[in-house]
């Protein structure tokens, strides 16, 4: 991060307890963070909603004022292309403004009582302390959409950003601190999940745990948190399809698939990694898709490239291994498939946008999450087969169809096993004021994030009978 003061506990930036960097954090740092949050929780809960909202709005304004700085930090740290990084920062700005407004009137509802002498109403109360564990691929947007509703509803927070991208998270917490957030209400501790995450999920002072990341880690986090009696929210992996039918505008279909597959270097849980294409338009679609993939400029985000590097050597290696697996299983490599070398690639983890044709549903490239710019294209004979293939994976996060047939569009929405269904749109890209979450192994299927639904996870409902 460029300095040793990477933990924010009880309103102060501190070095790790041991003086060591986050690769070897003392669990005492995480414990101190929880204790600070517990101590601050009651005061923040009793802070009037309009005042909480004012602070969140002020944080939004500070994020907006630092947008260029945040964008460049995100590019350097995570590798996104500049338009993608700027868009993510703007999303964080908008999220805090949205939940700042929500905090002003979020309290409960009044209901009609059976007795004329009774006032019947509900009150939404904060859980207490929420532990937030976030990934590296959206290192400011995902923390924002967890932090903002947690704070809007009166919870104190302990927060662990991903070790691959902690600096932009630090800057986000700085904006909250500058906006007037009381000490202890937000506490950030960097470090590995085996140390920080374990304390956050098991400490008796934590009431709720919200996690976004891989399915394997998420299931372990969820099991530990549930065993410790916490409320749990998990958003995990995806293997997201776009179905292309004969009635589709093929130029638009290619743009939708390419944007969904290669945007943010394929490093999104909602990225399109399967194109399920009707055989009547299969060859024409593939020809245009290869042209689109080969037109993408790959390079450093600060240099204006369309697609940046993978975040780490490990992520790149995982992508290259899946490319080798796909070749070995008999998929046809149409374009890409190699690591990029030479200037300006030698100092980063760059891979070509990659398209495999003639994939079958049982191939690993068709059913396992790759998390890189690799697309499997599967031919199908009709709509029924397309839906069968789309649903025949363990994940169910985001899915889309490109069609001009109203019946196909409506059947797709009804039959797809996914938390997000899109018609004539890419699988990536989410509105902040509607619920987001997955099905099957993509989610705990408990509470949704974003919009009004994002407030529910962080609150308990109390029903009041006021007789007079």
Which positions are annotated as active-site residues? Answer: 235
Question: Angle between the 49-65 and 141-152 helix axes, to the nearest 10 degrees?
Answer: 160
**Bridge partners (DSSP) listed for residue 13:** 8
Neighbours of 406 (CB within 10 A): 9
- With CA atoms as reference, report the closest residue to 105 among 42, 185, 51, 183: 51
What distance in Å separates the CA atoms of residue 113 and residue 460, rounded to the nearest whole number?
A: 21
What distance in Å separates the CA atoms of residue 199 and residue 226, rounded to the nearest whole number?
A: 14
- With CA atoms as reference, report the closest residue to 413 among 429, 446, 390: 390
* DSSP secondary structure string for all residues of 340-377: --STTTTTS--B--EEEES--TTSHHHHS---SSEEEE
3-state secondary structure 15-79: CCCCCCCHHHCCHHHHHHHHHHHHHHHHHHHCCCHHHHHHHHHHHHHHHHHCHHHHHHHHHHHHC
CB 296 within 8 A of CB 399: no
What distance in Å separates the CA atoms of residue 116 and residue 118, rounded to the nearest whole number?
A: 6
- With CA atoms as reference, report the closest residue to 277 among 241, 330, 323: 241
Neighbours of 24 (CB within 10 A): 11
Which SS3 state, helix, strand or coil, does residue 169 take?
helix
CB 351 within 8 A of CB 326: no
What distance in Å separates the CA atoms of residue 352 and residue 319, rounded to the nearest whole number?
A: 10
Run of H or E including 252: helix 250-262
φ, ψ for residue 120, nearest 5 deg: -115, 120
Distances (CA, A) of 94 to 97, 148, 434: 5, 10, 14
Q: Parallel, antiparallel, or unpaired: how do β-strands 156-160 and 395-396 relate? A: unpaired
């Amino acid at each position: 991060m460029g300095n040793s003061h990477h933990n924010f506990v009880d309103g102060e930036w501190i070095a790790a307890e041991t003086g060591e960097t986050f690769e070897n954090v003392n669990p005492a740092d995480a414990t101190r963070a929880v204790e600070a949050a517990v101590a601050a929780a009651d005061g923040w809960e009793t802070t009037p909603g309009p005042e909480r909202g004012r602070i969140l709005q002020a944080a939004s304004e500070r994020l907006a004022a630092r947008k260029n700085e945040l964008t460049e930090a995100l590019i350097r740290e995570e590798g996104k292309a500049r338009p993608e990084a700027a868009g993510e920062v703007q999303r964080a700005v908008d999220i805090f403004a949205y939940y700042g407004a929500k905090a002003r009137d979020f309290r409960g509802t009044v209901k009609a009582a059976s007795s004329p002498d009774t006032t019947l109403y509900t009150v939404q109360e904060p859980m207490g302390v929420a532990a937030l564990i976030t990934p590296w691929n959206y290192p400011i947007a995902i923390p924002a959409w967890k932090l903002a509703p947690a704070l809007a509803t009166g919870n104190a927070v302990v927060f662990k950003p991903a070790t691959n991208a902690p600096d932009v998270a630090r800057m986000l917490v700085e904006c909250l601190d500058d906006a007037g957030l009381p000490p202890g209400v937000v506490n950030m501790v960097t470090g590995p999940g085996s140390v920080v995450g374990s304390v956050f999920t098991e400490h008796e002072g934590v009431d709720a745990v919200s996690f976004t990341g891989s399915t394997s880690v998420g299931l372990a986090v969820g099991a530990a948190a549930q065993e410790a009696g916490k409320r749990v929210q998990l958003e995990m992996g995806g293997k997201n399809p776009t179905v292309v039918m004969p009635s589709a505008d093929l130029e638009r279909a290619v743009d939708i698939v390419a944007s969904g597959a290669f945007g943010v270097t394929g490093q999104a849980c909602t990225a399109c990694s399967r194109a399920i294409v009707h055989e009547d338009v299969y060859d024409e679609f593939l020809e245009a898709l290869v042209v689109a993939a080969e037109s993408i400029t790959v390079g450093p985000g600060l240099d204006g490239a369309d697609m940046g590097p993978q975040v780490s050597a490990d992520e790149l290696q995982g992508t290259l291994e899946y490319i080798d697996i796909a070749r070995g299983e008999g998929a046809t490599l149409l374009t890409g498939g190699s690591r990029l070398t030479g200037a300006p690639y030698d100092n980063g983890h760059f891979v070509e946008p990659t398209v495999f044709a003639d994939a079958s549903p049982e191939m690993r490239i068709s059913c396992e999450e790759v998390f890189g710019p690799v697309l499997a294209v599967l031919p199908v004979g009709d709509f029924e087969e397309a839906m069968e293939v789309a649903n025949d994976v363990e994940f169910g996060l985001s899915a889309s169809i490109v069609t001009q047939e109203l019946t196909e569009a409506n059947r797709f929405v009804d039959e797809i096993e996914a938390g997000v269904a899109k018609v004539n749109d890419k699988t990536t890209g989410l509105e902040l004021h509607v619920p987001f979450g997955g099905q099957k192994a993509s989610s705990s299927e408990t509470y949704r994030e974003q919009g009004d639904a994002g407030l529910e996870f962080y609150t308990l409902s109390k029903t009041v009978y006021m007789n007079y």
